[in-house]
Amino acid sequence: MRSQPSVTRRAGGERPWRVRLRDPVTGLLFVLPMLVLFVVFRFLPLAGSVGMSFTDYRINGSWDPVGLDNYQRLLSDPVFLDSLQVTLIYAAIYVPLTVGVALGTALLLNTVVFATGLFRGVLFLPYVTSFVLAGVIWRWVYEFDGLINGLLAKVGFEPIGFLQESSLVLPSLAVVAAWRGFGYSMLILIAGLKSIPDSFLEAARVDGASTWQRFRFVVLPHLRPVLFFVLVIETIAAFQVFDTIYVMTGGGPVRASYSLVYALFDQGFEFFDFGYAATIGIALFVIILVISLIQRKLLDRETT
């Protein structure tokens, strides 16, 4: 004889509130470990940095409240303003370069029908290389007696100071970061391309659409959400650049590569001005948030 279900439904088929609560509680239990990690290692440090930015925090743990003094100092600090300008210029070079290379390689690999795993693995390999190791390798490539200048000397050209000239140091660093980091965005864009139904592209081909028209009117609209995500993560990476600069230039020449994170590092770990360093970190967070919102607004406008 069949056993009766242990949970009875109320009139109208409505389940008891304990049963309705079971699913969200179960889901919460599954995400709880990651939620705890996020709160402990992300939210609490952010909250602590906000509080520290309103203090004169010293290395011995003592502190004095200073109100908005750190923020007023920030707005009038020429070092901070110069580092902000350097970071904006670097991001303007790095983000289009990295996204363009990632999109181009993703489109190319999407058409490859043989050894696709091998090609993806080779192109993704630089991403698993540390920024420090990449910086050491590329510093040798850029040196006066390095690889590039050695090849230029063989054809009669004078050596170029890639890391010694203020006008060349940021593009040179952006190339290193793009070489190291484009593989991650490439895989994301490939996944986005694979989600586009083949029937859409085939219909456009039958209608006589050219390769550019198929990309412009079929591929790009479907790829826009993925492209927005790639733009955001690469913009964040550009504004957080530090390792490559620390290894290759040390912020030089003449602070031509002195980024916001490098300024934060100097204030916190060279001058031990932790309150002001926290203020720079909060300013960096706000700048990234505003730029991400602007990017989303522009992409939504293009969509409509």
Q: How far is the C-alpha of 224 from the C-alpha of 28, rounded, in Å?
A: 31
Q: Whole-model pTM?
A: 0.86
**Domain harbouring 144, CATH code:** 1.10.3720.10
Spell out the per-residue pLDDT of the chain, length 304, in tens: 444 544 455 554 566 666 666 777 787 888 899 999 989 998 898 899 999 999 999 888 889 999 999 999 999 999 999 999 999 999 999 999 999 999 999 999 888 777 778 888 889 999 988 888 899 999 999 998 889 999 999 998 898 999 999 999 999 999 999 999 999 999 999 999 998 888 888 888 888 888 888 888 889 888 988 999 999 999 999 999 999 999 999 998 989 999 999 999 999 999 999 999 999 999 999 999 999 899 888 876 655 4
**169, 249 contact by CB (below 8 A):** yes
Select from 96, 131, 126, 128 the least CA-distant residue to 231: 96
Question: Has residue 142 been placed in a domain?
Answer: yes
Q: What is the pLDDT of residue 175?
A: 95
Question: Has residue 174 been placed in a domain?
Answer: yes
Question: Has residue 74 been placed in a domain?
Answer: no
C-alpha distances in Å from residue 147, one per residue of 77, 131, 136, 170: 39, 19, 13, 19
Question: Has residue 190 been placed in a domain?
Answer: yes
Question: Has residue 59 been placed in a domain?
Answer: no
Structure tokens at 7: 């949970």
Select from 230, 80, 248, 232 the least CA-distant residue to 174: 248
The four Cα atoms 279, 42, 296, 94 give a dihedral, to 10 degrees, of 70
Q: How far is the C-alpha of 244 from the C-alpha of 131, rounded, in Å?
A: 6
C-alpha distances in Å from residue 59, one per residue of 55, 68, 272, 279: 12, 20, 6, 16
Select from 289, 155, 299 the least CA-distant residue to 227: 299
**Strand segments (E) across 107-190:** none
Question: Has residue 36 been placed in a domain?
Answer: no
Question: Has residue 192 been placed in a domain?
Answer: yes
Question: Has residue 64 been placed in a domain?
Answer: no
- Total domains in the fold of the chain: 1
DSSP codes, 224-273? HHHHHHHHHHHHHHHHT--HHHHHHTTT-STTTT--HHHHHHIIIIIS--
CB atoms within 10 A of CB 262: 21
For residue 252, the enclosing domain spans 89-303
Q: What phi, psi does 220 have (nearest 5°)? A: -60, -45
